[in-house]
Structure 1
């Protein structure tokens, strides 16, 4: 999986010196623009693929959540509406078998 870093505003690259207005400078400018366009299109394709992966994962999670909830409902005893009747027996705990010891260091 690729590391995804937060994207900042995309700014055009600025040359330190203005170029002379010639055919070569315009060809270079065209090359830069086309290269940037291709990079942005490629990034958009990557983002669309990532969105598809995320949607698929959400679908899987939704199915797992639904089946887990069903399992919980099947395992959970039905609580009667009469408050005098308990659904589960009280827990029996024994704490008489403990021994205390101290460590000094």
Structure 2
């Protein structure tokens, strides 16, 4: 036998539904933001793929593309080494 509905239980049900609706709206906003990030990344990947395909076509036709110079990086080997001993 279901409980008798009182004004308090109706308010409780309304509150639960409002909270769930708010949670779903926030989740939807996060999903939309993530979708936008994914679309931006896919656009970036499409550009990179197109650039590499152009480079491949130039290489096949005998045109050598300009070599891209990499920025100088810090030396991968430090000038001095610190010794560390671990004992078990």
TM-score (normalizing by structure 2): 0.64
- In the other structure, the counterpart of 1:65 is 49
Structure 1 gaps, min length 5:
1-16, 79-105
How far is the alpha carbon of 1:75 from its aligned partner? 1.0
2:26 aligned to 27, 38, 42, which one?
A: 42
- CA distance, structure 1, for counterparts of residue 30 and residue 7 of structure 2: 35
How far is the alpha carbon of 1:72 from its aligned partner? 0.4
- CA distance, structure 2, for counterparts of residue 30 and residue 19 of structure 1: 17
* Greater fraction of residues in helix: 2
- In the other structure, the counterpart of 1:76 is 60
Runs of 4+ in 1 over 6 A off after TM superposition: none
Larger gyration radius, structure 1 or structure 2: 1
- CA distance, structure 1, for counterparts of residue 25 and residue 3 of structure 2: 28
- In the other structure, the counterpart of 2:73 is none
- In the other structure, the counterpart of 2:16 is 32
| Alignment RMSD | 1.6
